[in-house]
Amino acid sequence: MNYKNIPLKKYNTFGLDYIAEYMIRVKTEKEAIALFKGSAAWKKPHLILGSGSNILFTSDFKGTILYPEIKGIKIEEQEPDNRNVIVSAGAGVNWDDFVAWSVNKGFGGIENLSLIPGKVGATPVQNIGAYGVEVKDRIVKVKTININDGSRRVFNNHECEFSYRNSIFKNREKGKYLVTRVYYRLAINPLLNLSYESLKEEVNKLGAETLINVRQGVINLRQNKLPDPEIIGNAGSFFKNPVVESCVALNLINEFPDIPVYKDREGYMKLASGWLIERCGWKGERRGDAGVHNKQALVLINYGNATGKEIYNLSEEIRKSVHGKFGIDLEREVEIVGVI
Ligand code: EPU
């Protein structure tokens, strides 16, 4: 179905009030193939939009928004060793509904990713992660349609080129493939991941270390720290956590002994953007209706009537001050769409 002049407020979690010239809702794989094979004319450029939970619009969108609504969760197979099942979900399935479904079935592996806003189709694009788990550890393959010619392509895990909050779909082949269905490997007898200390504490408060309690523990932590986009506009972490050479991290530790640093690949360490931003005095600050969350400085928020440009400008101010104090360049996790 093709729509014209769509208000985007409901389609981005910042709640920004821009207009998209066209929107096409894609309900099945067949519809996507017909559309991209060229039988129907549609206006370029395009933007694939999930639930708009990682996007900052800064102007109206002149072109077509492709909005996948492919549904369905399916147990595809049980692996021969009886340890895992392969489960697939349509790109349009709400991510947290899928996590709830898998926890209810007793399947483990994605419970730490509870309550992350967004849809299944965005999970491989972003390689979503939280509390010591990244979705790349569970993705077996990703079914896609090539937007240029309607051909099908299946990417196995390796071909997705996953890294921290990144994949081939966000990077080298950005905008070229529409994800239709994602296949995950889930454990029948799950090994819980409680490596994140405050999650372990939260789960222990709830009782036994079970799949259901891990999900509930994650929900509690997120609800305590992160604003609910239904109530206050935001897109989760606005910046990535910077990965720096170990010598850079060691110099920072000398100067700021309480700075949190985490192990990363050989020779590198990861810093916490939230800490850097808070230390620059930004927590709870406001520029009009654009602000920095008062419980988690990595989250920028729209108090109601901020424009995308105002949020962008605030993010630039933050980047400059973090660079000034620590010499670190923050990279945005959120994608900017529009004129700046
Ligand atoms: N911190 C501060 N001040 C703040 C925020 C954080 O000092 O305002 C410190 C914390 O005390 C902690 C460290 O920074 O020592 C890390 O903070 P936290 O554990 O809250 O996690 P994060 O690094 O800020 C990342 C992800 C989140 C994910 C959490 C939990 C990124 C960019 N963000 O945040 O993901 O939920 O870990 O695993 O990697 C998202 O991507 O949208 C997202 C919310």
Residue 208: inside a domain: no
Pair 330, 319: CB distance under 8 Å: yes
Segment 88-145, tens digit of pLDDT: 999 999 999 999 999 999 999 999 999 999 999 999 999 999 999 999 999 999 999 9
Which of 53, 68, 83 is the C-terminal boundary of a domain?
A: 68
Which of 32, 48, 68 is the C-terminal boundary of a domain?
A: 68
Q: Let me know whether 62 and 92 are in one domain.
A: no
Q: Let me know whether 91 and 157 are in one domain.
A: yes
pTM listed for this prediction: 0.97
Segment 154-168, tens digit of pLDDT: 999 999 999 999 999
From the centroid of its chain, how far is CA 164? 11
Segment 59-90, tens digit of pLDDT: 999 999 999 999 999 999 999 989 999 999 99
CATH number of the structural domain spanning residue 26: 3.30.43.10
Q: Is 283 in the pocket of ligand 1 (CB under 6 A)?
A: yes
Residue 317: inside a domain: yes
CA of 265 to the centre of ligand 1 (A): 19
Sheet-wide strand order for 73-78: 73-78, 84-90, 177-187, 139-146, 152-156
CA of 141 to the centre of ligand 1 (A): 28
Q: Is 123 in the pocket of ligand 1 (CB under 6 A)?
A: no
Which of 131, 155, 187 is the C-terminal boundary of a domain?
A: 187
Task: Give the residues across from 186 on adjacent strands.
Answer: 85
Q: Is 282 in the pocket of ligand 1 (CB under 6 A)?
A: no
Q: Let me know whether 59 and 88 are in one domain.
A: no
Q: Let me know whether 84 and 182 are in one domain.
A: yes
Can you give the chain as a three-state secondary structure string? CEEEEEECHHHCCCCCCCEEEEEEEECCHHHHHHHHCCCCCCCCCEEECCCCCCEEECCCEEEEEEEECCCCEEEEEECCCCCEEEEEEECCCEHHHHHHHHHHHCCECCHHHCCCCCEHHHHHHHCCEECCEEHHHCEEEEEEEECCCCCEEEEECHHHCCECCECCCCCCCCCCEEEEEEEEEEECCCCCCCCCHHHHHHHHHHCCCCHHHHHHHHHHHHHHHCCCCCCCEEEEECECCCEEEHHHHHHHHHHCCCCCEEECCCCEEEECHHHHHHHCCCCCCEECCEEECCCCCCEEEECCCCCHHHHHHHHHHHHHHHHHHHCCCCCECCEEECCC
Domain range spanning residue 291? 233-337
Domains of the chain: total:
3
Q: Let me know whether 104 and 20 are in one domain.
A: no
Pair 16, 307: CB distance under 8 Å: yes
How confident is the model at residue 1, as a pLDDT? Answer: 56
Q: Let me know whether 324 and 292 are in one domain.
A: yes
Residue 185: closest CA among 76, 101, 72:
76
**Atom 33, ligand 1: which residue's CA is nearest?**
237
